[in-house]
């Protein structure tokens, strides 16, 4: 696929929706769909690295997902931990930098250890930065940022008039990263579901009918080509 190299998105964010729907259509449990989705994710991140994307962010587990059945949550957490451990083992060969967005303190000690190890093993990699939003909520992220800024103001480290967009961005999980240029959601749902609420203010949005396990490298190519057809105005007329 020949892209316009001067108009490549630097950062693509993906809401990986439809794993459970995909599994139900085959008469399988949700865990079957999540495993298939994990294989798709591995393939897409590897391809993103190959074509030179700088950042890719995926919505793996939201703060609201704890409301799901305990069996499904436990299976998903085990899958995610296994996924992180596998990335740690391949850190030297794939050159992908793994970063976690979200409140990891609510996760098990084993999961926290896997996260710490994976981020440490991949921190010097120079390929795509792979952000995994885990126990993440956009509003929760903003609240945490506001609390950190309020604490700085309370301690006279900053003045109220110092607070601006950049300061808020600098206190988010994605500090020092560009906002997503393109957000893709699979499964046909047309909403953002509390994903990167601050960062996607001017992102291009693309909603795809396919369920996530069926998403391919060609679909990512098509999404980038669609992005390149659009004119980004950032609020200008």
Domain range for 80 is 7-137+179-228
Q: How confident is the model at residue 51 (pLDDT cuts 50, 70, 90)?
A: very high
Q: Is residue 83 part of a domain?
A: yes
Letter string b/e over residues 11-32, b meaning 16 or more CB atoms within 10 A of that residue's CB: bbbbbbbbbbbbbeeeeeebbb
Residue 1 pLDDT exceeds 80: no
Residue 173 lies in a domain: no
Selected catalytic residue, list 7, 65, 125, 140: 65
Position 149 in a domain: no
Catalytic residue at 17?
A: yes
Domain assignment present for residue 165? The answer is no
Binned at pLDDT 50, 70 and 90, residue 29 comes out as very high
Residue 92 has a pLDDT of: 81
Confirm whether 65 is a catalytic residue: yes
The number of distinct structural domains making up the chain is: 1
Q: Is residue 160 part of a domain?
A: no
- Domain of 46, CATH number, reads 3.40.1180.10
Q: Average pLDDT of 66-74? A: 93
pLDDT of residue 173: 98
pLDDT at 237 over 70: no
Question: What is the reported pLDDT for 202?
Answer: 96
Active-site choice (7, 17, 124, 135): 17
Of the candidates 154, 135, 136, the residue with the CA atom closest to the CA atom of residue 198: 136
Instruction: Look up residue 85 and give its two tokens.
Output: 């451990």
What does the buried/exposed string (b/e) look like for 94-133 if buried means 16 or more CB atoms within 10 Å of the residue's CB? bebbbbbbbbeeebeeebeebbeebbebbeebebbbbbbb
Q: 170-189, pLDDT tens digit by residue?
A: 999 999 999 999 999 999 99
233 inside domain: no
What is the spatial distance between Cα 79 and Cα 103, in angstroms, rounded to a whole number? 18
């Amino acid at each position: 696929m020949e892209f316009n190299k001067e108009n490549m998105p630097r950062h693509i964010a993906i809401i990986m929706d439809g794993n459970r729907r995909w599994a139900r259509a085959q008469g399988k449990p949700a865990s079957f769909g999540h495993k298939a989705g994990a294989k798709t994710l591995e393939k897409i991140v590897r391809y993103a690295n190959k074509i030179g994307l700088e950042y890719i962010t995926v919505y793996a587990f939201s703060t609201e997902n704890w409301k799901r059945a305990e069996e499904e949550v436990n299976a998903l957490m085990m899958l995610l931990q296994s996924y992180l451990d596998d990335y740690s083992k391949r850190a030297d060969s794939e050159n992908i930098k793994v970063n976690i967005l979200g409140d990891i303190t609510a996760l098990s000690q084993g999961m926290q250890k896997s996260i710490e190890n994976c981020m440490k093993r991949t921190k010097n990699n120079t390929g795509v930065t792979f952000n995994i939003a885990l126990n993440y909520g956009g509003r929760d992220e903003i609240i945490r940022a506001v609390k950190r800024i309020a604490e700085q103001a309370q301690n006279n480290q900053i003045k109220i008039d110092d607070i601006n967009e950049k300061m808020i961005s600098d206190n988010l999980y994605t500090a020092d990263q560009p906002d997503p240029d393109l957000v893709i959601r699979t499964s046909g749902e047309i909403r953002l579901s509390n994903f990167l609420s601050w960062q996607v203010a001017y992102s291009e949005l693309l909603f795809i009918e396919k369920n996530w396990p069926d998403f391919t490298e060609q679909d990512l190519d098509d999404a980038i080509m669609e992005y390149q057809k659009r004119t980004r105005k950032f609020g200008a007329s």
